[in-house]
Amino acid sequence: LSYEIGLRKPNPAIFNYVLDTISQKPQHGLFIDDLKENVDSAQTTGLNILHYPHNQPLRQGCKNLLWIKSGKKYNKYNKYIK
């Protein structure tokens, strides 16, 4: 919990603390949040980020991120484009 370590979002130190604690590199992590300032802060540490406002479905945002990261292109019908 953030009060136990004295850090909280959007301070980038909290993301580095968590990464150090779990011994992971930032490029292997994904931070998801609805506040732009939090995802911007997480991105400065090298984390992959997904910003989703409350009015957007999280499931679609995750699908889009996975498709972008995989380098594959899909059309609006979720069909792979070769």
The one-letter code for the residue type at 15 is F
Which amino acid appears at position 55 of this protein? N
pTM of the complete model: 0.70
Q: Which residues are bridge partners to 32 per DSSP?
A: 50
* 70 confidence band (pLDDT: 50, 70, 90): low
Q: Residue 13 and residue 75: Cα distance in Å, rounded?
A: 38
pLDDT of residue 67: 61
pLDDT digits (tens, 9 = 90+) for 14-58: 999 999 999 999 999 989 898 999 999 999 999 989 888 876 777
* Pair 26, 19: CB distance under 8 Å: yes
Give dist(CA 18, CA 24) in Å, integer. 9
| Buried-state track 17-38, b at ≥16 Cβ within 10 A, e below 16 | ebbeeeeeebeebebbbeeeeb
